[in-house]
Amino acid sequence: MQSISDQMKTNRHQGIAEVAAFIDKQSKDAHDQAKKLVDDAIDRIVKASKNIYAYIENRRLAKLGRLDECLEKFDKDFQILNSKLTEQTFLPADQMLDLRQKYAYNMFDSISVPVEASTTVQQAENEKFFNDYRFYHELINLRQKWTFFQAALTTVYFPAKKDISLDKILTFLEYRHDRVLENYREHLSTNEDSKDLALKPTEDLLNQLSFLSRKLLPTESENFDRIDEKTVEAEAEAEVEAEVEAEETKPQNPITIDVTPKTDSGQGDDETSSTSSQSWQIEDASDDDYDTRFQNLSQSMKILEKQFEDDFRLVQSIPRW
């Protein structure tokens, strides 16, 4: 019995030491394996984050490159316009209209308060779709404000959130401006209340957005607009009809004829002579108005002749190839 008791004591101490050592060894091995897993996950996340940052930077540089292309085209057109101004040579009307529409569309703008769009409750609900598209409202407003830089304002960022795991991390997607509107159209088509809005053209769909900046422009902004030929013809016909009607309703002035016998003064024909008694001359009661109109017409003719001389001189100064 004593021997058994002694062996039990020995086994107790020895068993505790060996088992405790094994547990510590097992724990250390588990810690090492976990560290490998954690380090691997961290390496994947860091590598993926670097790829995301590199992608964003590359896209930024690409957009700035397109901005430089827009500026190069702008400067080229600006140089052509200034060269013509220096030479005092007119550009063709269609080219001037094109330059004005591209680069000087706001030449008649004045400081005005933006027009607030009236948004319905349903439209406000629809526009929540754009909450995930970062700065989309600023993008489309800049596209509207600086139309000649639209080539550099094409994409927006959309963060698609996913659970962080060893294989899936936070991804960052980029959508084109027009693709966002197509996604918005699909979003509207899923709701019965907004299906009619989804059928509208892309431009109308864009104009429905309440965060698109709008402002009132003065009437001068309509200058250089194309003239509707049908409207001009209709107005001309109306003016001709009004003149004919006025001529028909105009009271006729009495005509008197002087039949006093003419005497030969020896200076030639009385009707052309400076000493003519103005016989057979039709007397008009509105002689004063006629003289005034004649003076105005003479002045207008002088002005037109001066303009013709200036234009003819300008044409002669153009080099001929």
DSSP string for 57-81: HHHHHHHHHHHHHHHHHHHHHHHHH
Flag whether 73 is in a domain.
yes
Same domain, 139 and 207: yes
- pTM of whole model > 0.75? no
Rounded distance, CA 307 to CA 269, Å? 39
Domain presence at residue 22: yes
Backbone angles phi, psi at 90, to 5 degrees: -75, 140
Whether 238 is in a domain gets the answer no
Same domain for 169 and 139: yes
Q: Is residue 90 located within the same domain as residue 134?
A: no
Alpha helices in 88-164 (DSSP H): 93-103, 121-126, 136-145
Residue 162 lies in a domain: yes
300 domain-assigned:
no
Q: Do 83 and 121 share a domain, yes or no?
A: no
pLDDT of residue 272: 35
Domain boundary among 104, 134, 168: 104
Cβ–Cβ contacts within 10 Å for residue 156, how many? 22
In a domain, 184, yes or no: yes
Task: Count structural domains, the chain.
Answer: 2
44 in the same domain as 148? no
**Residue 155: beta bridge partners?**
176
What is the per-residue pLDDT for 279? 36
**Are 119 and 35 members of one domain?**
no
> Quick one: pLDDT at residue 241?
72
Q: Which of 184, 219, 254 is the last residue of a domain?
A: 219
215 and 113 within one domain: yes
Assigned domain for 157 exists:
yes
d(C-alpha 10, C-alpha 25), whole Å: 23
List of the chain residues with pLDDT < 70: 109-117, 161-171, 215-234, 236, 240, 243-291, 294, 312-321
Same domain, 88 and 141: no
Do both 129 and 179 map to the same domain? yes
Residues 27-32: contacts with CB within 8 Å, 24+ apart? Answer: none
For residue 70, what are the contacts with CB-CB under 8 A and spacing of at least 6? 148, 149, 151, 152
Of 104, 129, 163, the residue that ends a domain is 104
**What pLDDT, on a 0 to 100 scale, did the predictor assign at position 149?**
93
Residues 86 and 15 in one domain: yes
d(CA 42, CA 129): 33
Q: Does residue 243 belong to any structural domain of this protein?
A: no
pLDDT at residue number 285 = 43
For residue 61, give Cα distances in angstroms to 55, 57, 66: 10, 6, 9
User: Are 20 and 94 found together in one domain?
Assistant: yes
Residues 65 and 92 in one domain: yes
Query: Dmax over Cα atoms in the chain, in whole Å?
Result: 184
Domain that holds residue 100: 8-104
- What pLDDT is stored for residue 72 in this prediction? 93
